[in-house]
């Protein structure tokens, strides 16, 4: 399926608030001034437009990420890396017991283009879904322009490491990345590098902390270095992770600065399993059978460490690999 | 409470300034796993500064493991041995100041495709590639096929992104929260 083959199904005209309505399979989507309404054959759901757009932005930008992206306790997506399940109530014990849960599997390009169209149409000029609430206006109200540049930011993904010639480069005022207001005290000095002729592509370093201090988005892991499938995906966090991430593999968090509190639940039922408080220097695994949501009271730096191997979901689902990283 | 700043774009009033809190060997504060219905060992929770404070210089102690991949914490004190790997590795200076020397090996002791780093006996043979001066928050490439050595000008902590090798130390029961 190519992008040119894809037909995004949307209403011909707009509703009374100025927004188009969309459908994907049997799912329907519409919004008004405050809320998003999601329908499916066995039920319907309502979310704040603010929360829905923040979650949708991550799902689109991450291309459905690893595993489950729960927009809330009812609606979300599961990435099968080529196709995506879109679901309602699938990871909600009450919906499942009542047999009100529903899901469809769709080709990734179809859901990608549909979600991109929803995001573009429903995001007003005043709102940046990637920004902290302190840094953006409201998502609410009737249709009021658009913010295409904000919702189509290029995702950074270094092939080898940021600052290596030909790879992703460091951020600066000149490249449009000023130091964030909550990181003005972060040292901006770069490493001093002495390179012998001929080794310019091999001797490389950068200030990771300065790089992160200039991030213009929140809760958006992006690759800064790759050791085969081992990916360093640091991110800056403020307020609440807009999704509840359900793992299909173990991932690790290393808190580089400040503090995040994680609420951890069973991935499939939502039953509470723990709360993890992470302070600067703390490192821990998120097991492969949980879902988690983070709370960061001040903008913080978090190193998300992922194993990008495509074999892992099947290994874990088949029981050949445990859901936690270490036996001890 | 900090001095109040200006109304932000979102309408709330922010502080005039904020202090970013990093950890260090001298000063770190651990959080933890507050269990409701789980086993703390599933989270392998530790703190890199705590681990480094209890490590010998240049020991490579795993604090994260995902299949064959590891994150190693190294207490940077004095001068390290020379090491090499057949794949790229990366070092992040989390505390202190460290100088990194790189030499392109004429002949690697490792087979192509081998995983993890190994120590080199004696001085590496090959042309000098360069030197990098790292401070807190700086990240450096340890390129495949190069020999590298660290010199800590100020004792600190390094984080190494690599694959488990013969010198990777696994001591989870000693470093992780267990209950």
Q: What secondary structure does DSSP assign to B8-43, as a single string? A: -TTSPEEES--------SS-----EEEESSS-GGGG
**Local structure of A228: helix, strand or coil:** coil
Judging contacts by C-beta atoms under 8 Å, the chain A residues touching residue B10 are 132-138
Percent of chain B with pLDDT over 90: 93
CB A205 within 8 A of CB B132: yes
Residue A166 included in any domain: no
Q: Considering the domain boundaries, does residue B98 fall inside one?
A: yes
| CB contact A217 to B (< 8 Å) | no
Name residues 18-37 of chain A within 8 A of B (Cβ): none
Whether B132 contacts chain A with CB within 8 A: yes
In this structure, is residue A227 part of a structural domain? yes
Q: Please report the number of interchain residue pairs, chain A to chain B, with beta-carbon separation below 8 angstroms.
A: 257
Is the same domain home to A198 and A127? no
Interface probe, candidates A282, A286, A297, chain B, greatest B C-beta count within 10 A: A282
pLDDT in tens, B47-56: 999 999 999 9
B174–chain A Cβ distance below 8 A for any pair: no
Bridge partner list, A296: A239
**ipTM of the prediction:** 0.97
Q: Which residue of A has its CA nearest to B48?
A: A281
**CATH number, domain at B159?**
2.60.120.10
Answer yes or no: do B23 and A228 touch at CB < 8 A.
no
Classify A312 as helix, strand or coil: helix
Distance from CA of B56 to the nearest CA of A (A): 18
**Is residue B6 assigned to a domain?**
no
What token pair was written down for B108? 């690697």
Residues A142 and A203 in one domain: no
The answer to whether position A246 is within a domain reads yes
Full residue range of the structural domain in which residue B131 is found: 41-175
DSSP state of A259: E
- Total structural domains in chain A? 2
pLDDT tens, residue order, chain A (328 aa):
667 789 999 999 999 999 999 999 999 999 999 999 999 999 999 999 999 999 999 999 999 999 999 999 999 999 999 999 999 999 999 999 999 999 999 999 999 999 999 999 999 999 999 999 999 999 999 999 999 999 999 988 999 999 999 999 999 999 999 999 999 999 999 999 999 999 999 999 999 999 999 999 999 999 999 999 999 999 999 999 999 999 999 999 999 999 999 999 999 999 999 999 999 999 999 999 999 999 999 999 999 999 999 999 889 889 888 999 999 9
What is the spatial order of strands in the sheet that A35-40 belongs to?
A9-10, A22-24, A27-31, A35-40, A43-48
Tell me, yes or no, if B142 comes closer than 8 A to chain A by beta carbon.
no
Strands (E), chain A: 9-10, 22-24, 27-31, 35-40, 43-48, 68-70, 75-79, 83-88, 102-107, 192-195, 205-207, 225-227, 230-240, 244-246, 251-255, 259-266, 272-279, 282-286, 290-307
Based on the fold, state whether residues A98 and A136 are members of the same structural domain: yes
Tell whether B163 is within 8 A of chain A (Cβ): yes
Structural domain ending residue among the three candidates A151, A167, A192: A151
At residue A106's C-alpha, the angle toward residues A101 and A109, to 5°, is 140
Interface check A320 vs B, CB under 8 A: no
Closest Cα in chain B, distance from residue A46 (Å) = 24
Nearest to A179 by CA among B71, B18, B45: B18
Residues of A in contact with B149 (CB under 8 A): none
Pair A234, A208: CB distance under 8 Å: yes
pLDDT at residue A1, rounded to an integer: 66
Instruction: Establish if B5 belongs to a structural domain.
Output: no
- Give me the phi and psi of A111, to 5 degrees please: -70, -35
For residue A53, tell me if it sits in a domain: yes
Whether B144 maps to a domain, the answer reads yes
Q: How many domains does chain B have?
A: 1
- Is residue B1 scored above 70 in pLDDT? no
B18 located within any domain: no
* Pairwise CB contact (< 8 Å): B65 & A232: no
Select from B44, B71, B104 the Cβ nearest to the Cβ of A199: B104
Residue A156 maps to a domain? no
Instruction: Write out chain A residues lying below 8 Å of B92, CB-based.
Output: 208
Query: In terms of residue numbers, what domain contains A97?
Result: 3-151
For chain A, what's the residue count?
328
Residue A310 sits in the same domain as residue A192? yes
In order, the DSSP letters of A46-115 are EEEHHHHHHHHHHHHHTTT-SSEEESSSSEEEEE-SSEEEEEESTT-HHHHHTT--EEEEEEHHHHHHHH
User: Who among B28, B130, B161 is closest to A281 (CB)?
Assistant: B28
Q: What CATH number did the domain enclosing A243 receive?
A: 2.60.120.10
Indicate if A147 and A203 belong to the same structural domain.
no
Q: Is residue B9 part of a domain?
A: no
> Which chain B residues in 18-47 lie under 8 Å from chain A, judged by CB atoms?
18-23, 28-38, 41-47
Is residue A296 included in any domain, yes or no? yes
Let me know if residue B34 belongs to a domain. Answer: no
Any domain includes A118: yes
**A185 and A138 together in one domain:** no
Between B62 and B2, the more confident residue is: B62
Structural domain includes residue B115: yes
């Amino acid at each position: 399926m190519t992008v040119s083959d894809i037909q995004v199904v949307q209403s011909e005209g707009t509703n009374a608030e100025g927004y188009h309505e969309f459908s994907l399979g049997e799912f329907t989507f519409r919004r008004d001034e405050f809320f998003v309404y999601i329908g499916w054959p066995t039920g319907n759901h309502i979310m704040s437009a603010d929360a829905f757009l923040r979650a949708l932005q991550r799902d689109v930008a991450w291309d459905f990420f690893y595993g489950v992206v729960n927009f809330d306790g009812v609606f979300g997506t599961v990435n099968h890396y080529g196709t995506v399940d879109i679901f309602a109530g699938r990871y909600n014990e009450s919906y499942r017991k009542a047999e009100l849960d529903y899901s469809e599997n769709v080709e990734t390009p179809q859901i990608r283009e549909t979600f991109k169209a929803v995001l573009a149409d429903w995001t007003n000029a005043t709102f940046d879904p990637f920004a902290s609430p302190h840094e953006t206006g409201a998502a609410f109200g009737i249709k009021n322009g658009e913010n295409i540049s904000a919702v189509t930011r290029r995702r950074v993904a270094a092939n080898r490491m940021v600052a290596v010639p030909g790879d992703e480069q460091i951020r600066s005022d000149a490249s449009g990345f000023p130091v964030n207001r909550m990181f003005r005290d972060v040292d901006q000095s770069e490493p001093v590098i002495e390179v012998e002729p001929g080794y310019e592509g091999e001797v490389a370093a950068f200030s990771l902390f300065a790089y992160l201090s200039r991030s213009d988005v929140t809760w958006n892991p992006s690759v800064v270095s790759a050791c085969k499938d081992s990916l360093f995906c640091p991110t800056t966090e403020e307020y609440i992770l807009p999704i509840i991430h359900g793992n299909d593999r173990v991932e690790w968090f290393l808190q580089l600065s400040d503090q995040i509190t994680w609420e951890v639940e069973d991935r499939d039922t939502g039953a509470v399993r723990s709360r993890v408080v992470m302070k600067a220097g703390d490192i821990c695994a998120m097991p492969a059978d949980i879902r988690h949501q983070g709370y960061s009271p001040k903008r913080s730096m978090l190193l998300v460490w992922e194993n990008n191997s495509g074999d892992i979901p099947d290994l874990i689902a088949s029981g050949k690999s445990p859901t936690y990283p270490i036996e001890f | 409470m900090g001095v109040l700043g200006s109304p932000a774009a979102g309408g709330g009033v922010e502080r005039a300034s904020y202090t970013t809190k990093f950890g260090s060997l001298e000063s770190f504060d651990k959080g933890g796993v507050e269990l409701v219905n789980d086993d703390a060992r599933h989270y392998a929770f530790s703190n890199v500064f705590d681990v480094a404070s209890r490590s010998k210089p240049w020991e490579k102690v795993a604090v994260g493991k995902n299949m064959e991949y590891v994150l190693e914490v190294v207490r940077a004190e004095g001068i390290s041995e020379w090491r090499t790997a057949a794949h790229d590795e990366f070092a992040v200076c989390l505390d202190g100041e460290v100088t990194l020397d790189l030499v392109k090996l004429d002949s690697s002791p490792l087979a192509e495709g081998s995983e993890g780093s190994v120590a080199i006996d004696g001085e590496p043979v090959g042309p000098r590639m360069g030197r990098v001066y790292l401070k807190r928050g700086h990240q450096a490439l340890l390129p495949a096929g190069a020999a590298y050595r660290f010199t800590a000008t100020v004792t600190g902590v390094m984080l190494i992104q690599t694959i488990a090798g013969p010198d990777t130390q696994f001591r989870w029961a000693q470093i992780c929260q267990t209950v």
